[in-house]
Amino acid sequence: MKDELLLRHPPSLARVTVHAPAPQRKFALLAGFVALHGLALQFCIQTSGQAHQAALERVRKLNREHFLNGTKEEDKIPQEQLPSEWAPNPWASASLFATISLHVFFHLVCHWKVSFRASMLFQPARNVREGFYVQVTPLPHRGRAALVPLKFCETTLRLTFIFQRQHYECLEPGDNGTDPDDEVGEVQLTPCPVSEPLSKYLQATGVGNDDAEHLKSRFGDNLLEVELPSFFQCYKEQLLSPLVIFQVFVALIWAADDFFGYTLMQLLFILTMESTSVFQRLKTMKMLNSMGTKSYGIMVFRGGSWVEKSTSDLVPGDLIELVTVARQEGAADKVAPDIVPCDCVLIRGEAVASEASLTGESAPQMKDALVLEDRSLDLQGTDRVHCLFSGTRIVRASEGSNKDDLDAGGAPAASQVPATPNGGSLVFVARTGFASSQGQLLQMIEFSQDKVSGDTREVIIALLILLGFALVAAGYVLKVGLEKGDKTPHELLIKCVLILTAVVPKQLPIQTAMAVNTALMALSRTGVYCTEPYRVPLAGKLTHCFFDKTGTLTTDTLVPVGVVNASSQPEKDGHQHPPKVKVSDADAAAALVLAACHSLVHVDGKLSGDPIEVAALQGVGWAYDSQEETAKPAQIPDGDGTDASISSRAGIHRARILQRFHFASQLQRMAVVAEVSGADGTAVNLSAKGGGNYVLVKGSPEALKPLLAANAAPGWYDRSHLDLAERGLRVLALAFRQLPAGQEKLTREEAERELEFAGFIAFECLVRKDSGLVVGALQESDHKVIMVTGDSPLTALHIARTCGISHPHLPGLLLSLQAGSASPAWAVATGDRCGDSIPLTVDGITKLANEYALMATGEALDAAVAMEPALWAKIDEIRVFARMTPQGKAKIIEELQKQSRHVLMCGDGGNDVGALKQADAGLALLAGYGNVNTADTNDIDSPSDANTVCDKKAEEALNQQDAEIAKRNRRAAKDRQAFLWEKQKELSNHQKEWLEEEMQARAKNGDTGVLAQMGAMKSSMGRYTEELKKVMKEYDKTHGNVYDPTEKEKQKQNPTAALEEASGGLPMVRP
């Protein structure tokens, strides 16, 4: 409506309007329907008996004709049943039926369509006040719109409402930074303290008891529970759905045509089907509730002292203590004190958290305390390394080694808050309940599953076409029937209605829903869990398929294959750069960077973190103690008994991390400040400058080169890393700087400058055996396949050639920023014309795509589209997007969607989350199989033969491979079942012994009788179950691989070594 009051709203909502109650409209509508019913009823009364009289005349006429024709008495036609003597004219009955149906349909549409209800029963509001209603429309596939009442909050003195379990506030013009001259107000989520100045968090003093009550009334309980409706409430809602109402209407029409048996069967079928849907819905809601953890006790600094509170009582602004908790095996999963109860900011101490439940990253993430800077908090961006998120698991939490000096300003953070009672980390509660990260995830899962259907638009168009034919057919039947006179008008009207209802086959909505549900079950059987079922029909419209590289097209296990030391010189055999050597032969400076510049932690006694960092540390032969944050070189004796470690020969015996600047995708690097000492604790000097601690930096070669000191980069710097990348290796540059004595605390900008070059390290990542088949099958089905990765362009190009994304013989053409120029241009990156430049023009991209394998970096793409926005129309001609940030990946997909393209994104890590959510269909690989399912050989100088389709089409080869894997799965399942039966028999014999032992132990304690016997049986059964689980878990670890049959022999000979080799030291999920 034109005069609706539209409110500004968050991006998560599509539309918010204000409506005022309109009792006069309700009265007018009621009066109108009463008048219609009165007219129809009057018509029926006036024509009462006409139907009986007409039917009687018709029977008399037939009998008269029968008698005049001289038909025998025994052939006389039977008397048909006459309508009631009070039956009105057929058209009067039809008018009464129509008015009643219209009235019922009006109320049903008000129930189905919130916009219709708002327009008919409410009036547009001119302002916002208590007692009014807001019509909230979410984004497509994010649940249903709703009319919710506005309520006054005494805490904030604002109008509030709750929609989809989240709290919203209405702001007046000029309130909270809004434009005071604006005539329209604004709706916002009840603001949690997630973007305040950093000083506010570091100077926090907790929440008072009175304030806590006000905040709780504003934000609600910190619970992730979905209120379960009763079965009859859900059943009533299900029976009022449009599909069910339509089916019941059709069944009643059939009953009016004397098909009573059919009607009863149809109604029984409808009621049974809908009851099963209700049971499934209640099961889903129970599953959602199980995803949230139960409340547990936690220490909170409330009212000036440490007190124990339930996690459900937490409010934004609280200060709480997080501690390391070892979860007991067999304990109830829902009572999990090692789960972060809310989104929070780390103020004092340090922590390690597993974020697999939110991002899919299997490696635990290190979290450092917030450092004072003159800016606001960026919860999901820069400051993510200082934040813990609800639903993630606490691996370790402590007060840290630098607890007395945590504030860059010189004062301890939260200085007015005493030390945590149990030596844990001090954190600031930022978001609770459904406003938290886990709450938003549960909300998305719950409200994205409201509707599961096919292509609604196409179905409606088809039904409208059929309706046109049905109207013509019904009109023809009515006209001819009235002319012939062999059917009563009642019968003709019923037949016409049945013709119209036949337009929508009763099975059509069920079939479309069942098609989607069948696809969901098929995905579930293959280990794919669909969180948003509405995306399944969209998968049939896909035009573009985007793939991440590492962990998706390739394995997630990186193997260090060598280093290029800065002190090396090019060989005299024509090479333009020094050769790579073993990682163990890295110079002292390079080894020091690899050993100390990382974010590794120990989890359950095992080093865990970024696979690159784990592989590099093992490659240089250093050991790391994450508790002390100290790295030491391994002592490897030489043949003469001397220490063979290059690092030790240089005098390095210990490196302790003092300050860490975590990896940032925008910067493409990370850095640490470390104290490096010799055997006697003296400082080690690897540089002629300085004499104090070291700044150690690693990152992409392009990102580190500008940070090097003048003339620090050797002449072969670019050629070396480009040559390694072109052969498919992932390359990191290493650099360091020795600080002046006494200089310790630095900002990132102060640390990452005037660096000295230490060398390169190269990693190899094997291509998955079936990557080429999958890509080939997609291309055969006319899908455009594109790679988006954060890796270097040449490394990505090699994998793209190997997998068939780009032609293996086309030279690479890279869109990049030229040195000293802000304008991007094409540069030939491989082949004989390497280094040639080609101007960027939109019209020439299609021609270049036929001659080159087009690549683009994220930085160059941003500059190019800023200069030539029309480039987005040709963006899918580029086959490889490299050095892409998470935001850049999502932006490309968004632009393609604006062109009515449908995109699939397949990725594996947290940096792909934005693109996965933006895509029409996102496929997240939550865990890998190490180096399993890779080609037997991986020639890094040429495309792998394992990914080359020769005699058969890719689709056929892929189907054959799937059939082979399914065959191995069946054989493995049979072997597993046989092993299970054997172990059950073995453990059953032991169970008798355990029962006797338990009974004797209880008897010694004087515990006898029936209850003691039952307790002993329960205890022995529990032991039986635990032993069986343990045995089967070991079996699955050893025999779980069905992708590579050659692994079986390895596993039989040395199960532990085979498992470690396959997993690369990472957790594995077995089929």
Task: Count other Cβ atoms within 10 Å, centred on residue 247.
Answer: 23
pLDDT of residue 997: 84
Residue 96, domain extent: 5-47+89-191
Q: Are residues 891 and 924 in the same domain?
A: yes
Q: Are residues 433 and 311 in the same domain?
A: yes
The C-alpha atoms of residue 255 and residue 263 are separated, in whole angstroms, by 6
Q: Are residues 470 and 435 in the same domain?
A: no
pLDDT of residue 646: 54
Residue 263 lies in a domain: no
pLDDT of residue 31: 93
Q: Are residues 865 and 898 in the same domain?
A: yes
Q: Are residues 833 and 884 in the same domain?
A: yes
The C-alpha atoms of residue 336 and residue 811 are separated, in whole angstroms, by 55
The C-alpha atoms of residue 157 and residue 123 are separated, in whole angstroms, by 25
Collapsed DSSP state (helix, strand, coil) of residue 545: strand
The CATH number covering residue 848 comes to 3.40.50.1000
**Measuring CA to CA, which residue among 399, 451, 392 is closest to residue 424?**
399
The C-alpha atoms of residue 995 and residue 770 are separated, in whole angstroms, by 51
Collapsed DSSP state (helix, strand, coil) of residue 621: coil
Overall number of domains in the chain: 6
Instruction: For Cα atoms 389, 392, 398, give the angle at the middle one, nearest 5 degrees.
Output: 80
> Could you say which DSSP state residue 362 is in?
-
Contact 946, 966 (CB under 8 A): no
Q: Which two tokens stand for residue 782?
A: 């006319």
Collapsed DSSP state (helix, strand, coil) of residue 290: helix
Phi (first) and psi of residue 15, to 5 degrees: -165, 140
The CATH number covering residue 317 comes to 2.70.150.10
pLDDT of 910-944, one tens digit each? 567 778 878 888 888 765 555 556 654 444 344 44
Residue 59 lies in a domain: no
What is the end-to-end Cα distance of the chain in Å, rounded?
Answer: 55
Phi (first) and psi of residue 83, to 5 degrees: -70, 170
pLDDT of residue 507: 63
The C-alpha atoms of residue 155 and residue 219 are separated, in whole angstroms, by 11
Q: Give the domain-ending residue among 445, 468, 483.
A: 445
Collapsed DSSP state (helix, strand, coil) of residue 443: helix
The CATH number covering residue 649 comes to 3.40.1110.10
Residue 423 lies in a domain: yes
Q: Are residues 785 and 924 in the same domain?
A: yes
Q: At what angle do helices 23-46 and 114-121 cross, to 10 degrees?
A: 90
The C-alpha atoms of residue 161 and residue 915 are separated, in whole angstroms, by 31
Residue 777, amino acid = A
Contact 359, 909 (CB under 8 A): yes
Q: Are residues 1037 and 1050 in the same domain?
A: yes
pLDDT of residue 148: 93
Q: Any idea which residue has 């938290």 for tokens? A: 436
Helices (H), 781-906: 793-803, 845-851, 858-867, 886-898
Q: Give the domain-ending residue among 726, 758, 790.
A: 758
> Could you say which DSSP state residue 757 is in?
E
Q: At what angle do helices 90-112 and 489-501 cross, to 10 degrees?
A: 30
Q: Which two tokens stand for residue 966?
A: 């399914």
Distances (CA, A) of 420 to 295, 340, 686: 21, 17, 41
Residue 364 lies in a domain: yes
Overall residue count recorded for the chain in this entry: 1071
Q: Which two tokens stand for residue 51?
A: 């139907």
H/E run at residue 137: strand 133-138
Q: Is the pTM of this model over 0.75?
A: no
Q: Are residues 717 and 858 in the same domain?
A: no
The C-alpha atoms of residue 655 and residue 677 are separated, in whole angstroms, by 6
Q: Give the domain-ending residue among 460, 495, 530.
A: 530
Residue 815 lies in a domain: yes
Q: Are residues 794 and 869 in the same domain?
A: yes
Residue 83 lies in a domain: no
Q: Are residues 629 and 739 in the same domain?
A: yes
**Measuring CA to CA, which residue among 368, 328, 376 is closest to residue 351?**
368
pLDDT of residue 428: 94
Q: Are residues 772 and 886 in the same domain?
A: yes
Residue 1017, amino acid = M
Q: Are residues 515 and 416 in the same domain?
A: no
User: Exposure of 181 by Cβ count < 10 A (0-12 exposed, 13-18 middle, 19+ buried)?
Assistant: exposed
The C-alpha atoms of residue 44 and residue 90 are separated, in whole angstroms, by 9
Contact 38, 161 (CB under 8 A): no
**Measuring CA to CA, which residue among 690, 577, 217, 279 is closest to residue 432?**
217
Sign of the C-alpha dihedral computed for residues 499, 504, 510 and 512 taken in this order = positive
Residue 535 lies in a domain: no
Contact 510, 269 (CB under 8 A): no
The C-alpha atoms of residue 525 and residue 545 are separated, in whole angstroms, by 23
Residue 962 lies in a domain: yes
Give every residue of the chain whose pLDDT is below 50, as ranges: 1, 74-75, 78, 327-335, 402-410, 452-454, 636-644, 936-951, 1042-1071
